[in-house]
A and B are shown apart, each in its own frame.
Chain A
Amino acid sequence: MIKEVVKLENVDKIYKLGEVEVQALNNVNLTIREGEFVSILGPSGSGKTTMLNLIGALDKPTKGEVYINGVSLKKLNDKQLADLRLRTIGFIFQAFYLVPWLNALQNVMIPMMLLGKPPSYRKQRAMELLKVVGLEKRAYHKPTELSGGEQQRVAIARALANEPALLLADEPTGNLDSKTGAMIVDLLEKINKEKNVTMIIVTHNLEVAERTRRIIRLRDGKIIADEVKAI
Chain B
Amino acid sequence: MIFSDYFGYAFTHIKNKKARVFLTVLGVALSVMAMVSIISITEGFGEAIQLALNAQFSTDTLVVVDPLGQTVLTLKDVDLLKSRLPSTNYKRVTPVLIFSAEVSRVGKAESVITLVAGASTNEIRYVWPILYVAEEGVLPQGDLNPDEVILGNSLAKRLNVHAGDMIRIRSEVKDLQGKVITTITRDLKVIGILKLSGMNLVGVDVDSSVIMNFDTSRMMVNPPDLRDKISLILVQFNSPKFALELQSEIQDNIYGGKVRAVAFAAYARAVENVVMLFNSLLLSLIIISVVIAGVGVMNTMLTSVRERVKEIGTNRALGAKSSEILTLFLVEAFIIAVLGMILGTILGFISVFVIDKSNLLQSAINLGGVIYIKASPKIVLQNLIIWNLIVLFATLAFSYIPARRASKVEPIIALRYE
Partner of B13, one of A86, A93, A94, A101: A101
Q: Which residues of B contact A56 (CB under 8 A)?
A: 317
Question: Are A85 and B318 within 8 A (Cβ)?
Answer: yes
Given A82-B319, A95-B418, A116-B2, A101 contacting B17 (CB threshold 8 A): yes
Q: How far is the CB of B301 from chain A (nearest CB, A)?
A: 16
Contact B314 A97, beta carbon cutoff 8 Å: yes
Given contacts A101-B16, A101-B17, A116-B1, contact A93 B320 (CB under 8 A): no
CB <8 Å contact, B12 and A83: no
Is A146 part of the contact surface with B, judged by Cβ < 8 Å? no
Residue on A with the closest CB to B318? A111
> Which residues of chain B come closer than 8 Å to A130, judged between CB atoms?
none
A93, B415: Cβ atoms under 8 Å? yes
How many A residues are at the interface, by size bracket?
A: 20 to 34
A117-158: which have CB < 8 Å to B?
A: 118-119, 158
Interface contact B1-A91, CB-CB below 8 Å: no
Are A113's CB and B13's CB within 8 A? no
Contact with B along A99-124 (1 / 0, CB 8 A): 11110001000110111101100000
Interchain CB contact (< 8 A) of A110 among B13, B16, B17, B318: B318
B310 within 8 A of A: yes
Contact across chains for A58 and B319 when beta carbons are under 8 A apart = no
**B2 to A: closest C-beta gap in Å:** 5
**Cβ of B412 and Cβ of A82 under 8 Å apart?**
no
Within A72-101, the residues touching B (CB, 8 Å) are: 78-79, 82-87, 89, 91, 93-95, 97-101
Judge whether A210 is part of the interface by a CB distance below 8 angstroms: no
Q: What per-residue 1/0 map shows which CB atoms of B166-209 lie under 8 Å from chain A? A: 00000000000000000000000000000000000000000000
Which residue on B lies nearest to A175, using beta carbons? B418
List, in ascending order, chain A residues with CB within 8 A of B317's CB: 56, 58, 85, 91, 93, 97
A114: B residues at CB distance < 8 A = 1, 315, 318-320, 324
Q: Is the CB of A59 within 8 A of B5?
A: no
Measured between beta carbons, the chain A residues less than 8 angstroms from B9 are 113
- Asked if A192 is at the interface (CB within 8 A of a chain B CB), the reply is no
- What is the number of contacts between chain A and chain B, taking CB atoms within 8 Å? 73
In the assembled complex, how far is the CB of residue B314 from the closest CB belonging to chain A, in whole angstroms? Answer: 4
Give the residue of B13, B319, B323 whose beta carbon is less than 8 angstroms from that of A87. B319
Docked Cα-Cα span, A165 to B16, in Å, equals: 34
B351 at the A interface (CB under 8 A): no
Tell me, in angstroms, the Cα distance from A94 to B416 when the chains sit together. 10
- Total number of B residues with any Cβ neighbor in A under 8 Å: 27
How far is it, in angstroms, between the C-alpha of A106 and the C-alpha of B315 when the chains are bound? 13
Among B284-311, those with CB < 8 Å from A are 310-311
A53 located at the interface, meaning its Cβ lies under 8 Å from any Cβ of chain B in the complex = yes
Contacts of B319 in A (CB 8 A): 82-87, 89, 111, 114-115, 162
B residues less than 8 Å from A102 (CB atoms): 12
How far, in Å, is B320 (CB) from chain A's closest CB?
A: 5
A26 to B249, CA, bound (A): 99
Complex CA–CA separation, A79 to B316 (angstroms)? 11
Q: Which residue of B lies closest to A88 (CB)?
A: B319
Q: Which residue on B lies nearest to A155, using beta carbons?
A: B314
Whether B322 sits at the interface, judged by CB under 8 Å, is: yes
In angstroms, Cα B321 to Cα A125, docked, is: 23
Q: How far is the CB of A10 from chain B (nearest CB, A)?
A: 21
Q: Are A99 and B311 in contact (CB under 8 A)?
A: yes
Do residues B412 and A58 form an inter-chain contact, with CB atoms below 8 A?
yes
The answer to the question of B240 belonging to the interface, with a C-beta cut-off of 8 Å to chain A, is no
Report chain A residues within 8 Å CB of B321. 78-79, 82-83
Complex CA–CA separation, A119 to B318 (angstroms): 18
Q: Which residue of A lies closest to B311 (CB)?
A: A99
Q: Which residues of B contact A98 (CB under 8 A)?
A: 314
Residue B411 lies at the interface, judged by CB distance under 8 Å to chain A: yes
- Give the CA-CA distance A84 to B5 in the complex, in Å: 21
Q: Closest CB-CB distance, B18 to chain A, in whole Å? A: 11
Contact of A101 among B5, B12, B316, B412 (CB under 8 A): B12
- B1-41 vs A, Cβ < 8 Å mask (1 yes, 0 no): 11001001100110011000000000000000000000000
Within the assembled complex, what's the spacing in Å between the Cα atoms of A158 and B314? 11
Contact residues in B for A84 (Cβ distance below 8 Å): 319
> Residue on B with the closest CB to A159?
B318
Q: Which 9 A-B pairs have the closest CB atoms?
A: A86-B319, A101-B16, A85-B319, A97-B314, A82-B321, A95-B418, A58-B412, A99-B311, A113-B5
Query: With A59-B412, A97-B317, A97-B415 given, can you name 15 additional A-B contacts, CB distance below 8 Å?
Result: A53-B412, A78-B321, A78-B322, A79-B323, A82-B320, A82-B322, A83-B321, A86-B318, A91-B318, A93-B317, A93-B415, A100-B311, A114-B320, A116-B1, A116-B2
**A residues lining the B interface (CB < 8 Å):** 53, 56, 58-59, 78-79, 82-87, 89, 91, 93-95, 97-102, 106, 110-111, 113-116, 118-119, 158, 162
Identify 18 residue pairs between A and B in the complex whose beta-carbon atoms are under 8 Å apart, listed by A's number: A58-B411, A82-B316, A82-B320, A82-B321, A87-B319, A93-B317, A93-B415, A97-B317, A97-B415, A102-B12, A113-B2, A114-B318, A114-B319, A114-B320, A115-B319, A116-B1, A116-B2, A119-B8
